[in-house]
Amino acid sequence: MDKLCVNGPTQLKGEVHISKAKNAYLPLMAATLLATDKVTFTEVPGLRDIRTMHRLLEHHGVEIKEEGEGVFTYDCQKLKSEEAPYELVKTMRASICVLGPLLARFKKAKVSLPGGCAIGTRPIDLHLKNLEKMGAKIEIEGGYVIATTEGLKGTKLALDFPSVGATENLMMAACLAEGETIIENAALEPEITDLGNFLVKLGAKIEGLDTKTIKIQGVSSLGGTTYSAIGDRIEAATYIIAGLMTKSEMTVKGFDPIHIDAVIEKLAEMEAKMEIGHDYVKVFPSELVGTDIDTAPYPGFPTDVQAQILALSTQAKGLSIITEHIFENRFMHVPELQRMGAGITIKGNSAIVKGGKPLKGAPVMCTDLRASAALVLAGLCAEGVTEVRRIYHLDRGYEKLDKKFAGLSAPVERVQGD
């Protein structure tokens, strides 16, 4: 298994270009199941989760062609199988977003229940309950959700919690449902608006994007289009934090800083020196102070940046309290950071960080995607070599991480394993 060797402490120099968002592309790709004409995506990042989604779509009968680097066409004229098998779903929970489109277009879907994962139980009750309200018959059998319908019907839906995945599944299902669907308490994440903009380009009738109430008027079919997703706000936040952790002057480019407003606000509170442009953030060497952070649905502080800012707060003066409100088990990086010398105590769903203690390189283990990123960041400012193992988690969501760090003159090396 490959590992990353990070030889710290180091400083980063120059500019890094952010890839397009995997969390936008995964639902966009699921939405190609709705399209009767060809869809082309450009600037698709080379990531393991994207390859998993391609395998899943091909399993369903989507013909995918690579036309050039990061350019793919998707042709969904024929459905081969309505089943999303356990082997694929268990490696990537986002596979659940094929449920809505399969049901809407082909009137049947059989999707493995995703089950638990490292960061918590992550149920899909909101997806299922609301699809039922739209006229789906849902049974759970042998670990699979079996959904059928004689035709989905638009209706008023209200989410108990603004789930990203549930909002996406329901939006896609509603595009081909009869009549109007109103999704109340919809998630506001920028990836939802991106999906909505794409569906509109396919011919969907959607109002209220960027608001908590999304209205969709069903149409009989959707066409095709060419589309590119938004820049990856989580990758961007990760590199910004890397720059601040190493007291570097560097630029992170190719995304919309508005999408990480809550992160920028907290970093400013920590006294980070930054220059914010329309598609970049430049950071400068800063003496940081601790702060309190609570994760929340967008536009709140993203749970996907919690691990990275926790790593940063180990290097900020004073106390920080970081509270995780979205997932129940998302502090798996803490024991690994403690092994590097970080002063962190966990109390319930809060991490209390006594900042300012120098970190020391150590062999550490990745547990999930963002936790893994936090360990790389810690390695950049730790004394000595940090060996980050099980980096297949990083390969799920950070395109060319070692190469991007090499471009910033950081001694991050990928070592091939057995």
Report d(CA 226, CA 241) in Å as an integer: 33
Q: Which candidate in 117, 175, 366, 381 is catalytic?
A: 117
Closer CB to ligand UD1, residue 93 or residue 215?
93
By the rule CB under 6 A, 265 interacts with ligand UD1: no
Neighbours of 142 (CB within 10 A): 9
Cβ nearer to ligand UD1, comparing 105 with 233: 233
* Helix segments in 293-346, DSSP class H: 306-313, 333-339
The reply to whether 395 sits near ligand UD1 by the rule CB under 6 A is no
Residues for the chain: how many in total?
A: 418
Exposure string (b/e) for 406-418, b if CB count within 10 Å is 16 or more?
Answer: eebebebebeeee
What is the sign of the dihedral through the CA atoms of 286, 241, 233 and 165? negative
Which one of 11-19, 32-40, 119-127, 218-226 is the stretch in contact with ligand UD1 (CB under 6 A)?
Answer: 119-127
**Between 127 and 259, CB nearer to ligand UD1:** 127
- Residue in 238, 303, 367, 372 binding ligand UD1, rule: CB under 6 A: 303
Q: Is 76 a catalytic residue?
A: no
Is the separation of the CB atoms in 311 and 377 below 8 Å? yes
* Residue 124: CB minimum distance to ligand UD1, A: 4
Query: Which phi and psi angles does 11 have, rounded to 5°?
Result: -125, 145
Q: At closest approach, how far in Å is the CB of 146 from ligand UD1?
A: 17
The reply on whether position 231 binds ligand UD1 by CB under 6 A is no
> In the Cβ-directed half-sphere of 167, how many Cα atoms lie within 13 Å?
31
Q: Which residue is nearest to ligand UD1 (CB)?
A: 165
163 counts as binding ligand UD1 under rule CB under 6 A? yes
Token readout for 221 is 């079919």
Sheet holding 350-355, edge to edge: 292-294, 318-323, 350-355, 343-347
Contact with ligand UD1 (CB under 6 A) among 10, 19, 23, 314: 23
166 part of the interface to ligand UD1, by CB under 6 A: yes
Cis peptide leading into residue 257 (ω within 30°):
no
Based on the shown chain and the rule CB under 6 A, indicate whether residue 127 belongs to the binding site for ligand UD1: yes
- For ligand UD1, give the closer residue by CB, 67 or 125: 125
Question: Considering only residues 143, 161, 279, 345, which one is a binding residue for ligand UD1 as defined by CB under 6 A?
Answer: 161
Buried b / exposed e over 201-217, threshold 16 CB at 10 Å, is: ebbbebeebeeeebbbe
Binding mask 53-92 for ligand UD1 (x = CB under 6 A): ----------------------------------------
Q: Which is nearer to ligand UD1, 125 or 139 (CB)?
A: 125
**Residue 404 CB, nearest approach to ligand UD1 (Å):** 20
**Token pair in block for residue 25:** 């592309």
Smaller CB distance to ligand UD1: residue 122 or 273?
A: 122
Q: Does 367 engage in binding with ligand UD1 (CB under 6 A)?
A: no
SS3 for 342?
coil
Find the part of the chain contacting ligand UD1 (CB under 6 A) among 37-45, 54-62, 163-171, 359-367: 163-171
* Other Cβ atoms within 10 Å of 222 Cβ, number: 26
Among 4, 47, 94, 236, binds ligand UD1 (CB under 6 A): 94
Binding status of residue 171 toward ligand UD1 by CB under 6 A: no
Instruction: Name the pairing type of β-strands 280-284 and 137-141.
Output: unpaired
Interface with ligand UD1 (CB under 6 A), residue total: 20
280-284 sheet: strands from edge to edge:
13-17, 249-253, 280-284, 273-276
Q: For ligand UD1, which residue of 239, 327, 398, 405 counts as binding (CB under 6 A)?
A: 327
- Any contact of residue 195 with ligand UD1 (CB under 6 A)? no
197 Cβ partners below 8 Å, 6+ apart? Answer: 209
Considering only 66, 125, 271, 383, the residue that binds ligand UD1 (CB under 6 A) is 125
Q: How far is the CB of 209 from ligand UD1 (least distance, A)?
A: 16
Among candidate residues 160, 92, 174, the one with its CA nearest the CA of residue 131: 174
- C-alpha neighbours within 13 Å on the C-beta side of residue 399: 21
Residue 135 has which token pair?
């006229």
DSSP SS3 for 157: strand
Residue of 304, 368, 395, 399 interacting with ligand UD1 (CB under 6 A): 304
Residues labelled as active-site residues: 117
Q: Which residues form the interface with ligand UD1 (CB under 6 A)? A: 23, 26, 93-94, 122-127, 161, 163-166, 191, 303-304, 326-327
